[in-house]
Amino acid sequence: MKQFILNALILWSTSLVPYLLPIMIISRLLIGSNLIYRFLRPFSFLCKKMLHLSPAGSYALLLGFCCGYPMGVKTLADLRSADAISSEEAHYLTYFINNVSPGFLIACVCHDLLKAPGFAIPCMVMVYGAALCYGAGILAMHRHRREMADFPDMTAKTSGSPYGRKCSSGHTTFLTFLDTSIEDSITQMLKIGGYMVLFSVLSFFVCHLPALSAITRASLAALLEISLGCQLLARLSVPLFWRYLLIVVTLTFGGLCSAFQSASYLRSIGFSLKNYIKTKAMTAVIALGLYLIYLLPSIGSGI
């Protein structure tokens, strides 16, 4: 058990803290300053045309797809607290915004574990394509019921956000906001580390259940936490078809650890953890379908 916990802490301290902590701090500052929406205008225009998102929603989408768990819903929670996004848009984005980071997918899984760099692009198409397909389907049903136009742009009102409202009063206001952002981000990183330790302990017990087969233990570990789960799945002595299938589904679902890491943000958005887990399971089913569509013709050549 000690080694499982140490591995989780090493992963947290060497990969997540240097990567996610600066992003969390900078993101809070950008949301408070409103500057980010000006820089993202071309991307926001594309998201508005395709998914009818506001500039703030486009920013959350970008971080959710590029920065990994739980930055998607974390950004939505920050935007909601700053009144920069409507509750309706935040609720809609929660269905598909939380995803594994491209860095983990490409470098760790495809390159290091599977030794198959060529699988990275198809894997990204399946994982992120499944999320976008699910989001587009939810939007289509939503607009059909409500006949709603684009989500409203609330960033014009966020001059009243904590940072934007007080900045004109002097330099100390920015320092106060910076201090709050750092404190909040460190707290969130500690919470993420705590959940990683907890689910590492659970994974230890799963991996030492004698009555289970290797594929069952690996699948259950992947259900709990994706980093250890992907390691175990990559080592399975099964055909590549099944090994890749299980890893694609695991990456799309994200594991219960990432779901619990997101729980506090989900509550602030008004989205239940149970509904979130169901949503990720449905997205994993879509990824499974995309896997069959894209990779079945290649099975004969060993993928």
Please report which confidence band the pLDDT of residue 165 belongs to, taking 50, 70 and 90 as the band edges. very low
As to burial, measured by CB atoms within 10 angstroms (0-12 exposed, 13-18 middle, 19+ buried), residue 3 is exposed
pLDDT score recorded for residue 82: 85
Structural Rg of the chain based on CA atoms: 20
* Sole residue written with tokens 């809609």: 92
Q: If DSSP states are collapsed to H, E and C, what string results for the chain?
A: CHHHHHHHHHHHHHHHHHHHHHHHHHHHHHHHHCCHHHHCHHHHHHHHHHHCCCHHHHHHHHHHHHCCCCHHHHHHHHHHHCCCCCHHHHHHHHCCCCCCCHHHHHHHHHHHHCCCHHHHHHHHHHHHHHHHHHHHHHHHHHHHHHCCCCCCCCHHHHHHCHHHHHHHHCHHHHHHHHHHHHHHHHHHHHHHHHHHHHHHHHHHHHHCCCCCCHHHHHHHHHHHCHHHHHHHHHCCCCCHHHHHHHHHHHHHHCHHHHHHHCHHHHHHHCCCHHHHHHHHHHHHHHHHHHHHHHHHHHHHHCC
Which tens digit of pLDDT belongs to each residue from 9-56? Answer: 888 888 888 989 999 999 888 887 777 777 777 777 788 878 788 888
Q: Residue 267's pLDDT band (boundaries 50, 70, 90)? A: very high
Domain positions in the chain are: 2-301
In degrees and rounded to multiples of 5, residue 94 shows phi and psi of -60, -25
Helix 226-234 and helix 240-253, axial crossing angle in degrees, nearest 10: 180
CA distance 3 to 9: 10
Q: Which amino acid is at 224?
A: L
Residues in the chain, total = 303
CA 84 from centre of chain: 20
- Model confidence pLDDT, tens digit, residues 56-88: 888 999 999 999 999 999 999 999 988 888 999
Report d(CA 107, CA 115) in Å as an integer.
10
167 or 144, higher pLDDT: 144
- pLDDT at residue number 170: 47
Taking the C-alpha atoms of residue 279 and residue 295, their distance in angstroms, rounded to an integer, is 24
C-alpha dist (Å) from residue 280 to 67, 146, 189, 212, 241: 17, 24, 23, 25, 22
The span from the CA of 98 to the CA of 76, in Å, is 10
Taking only the tens place, the pLDDT of each residue in 139-149 is 888 765 555 55
| pLDDT at residue 168 is higher than 50 | no
CA distance 259 to 96: 13
109-122 confidence digits (pLDDT tens): 999 999 999 999 99
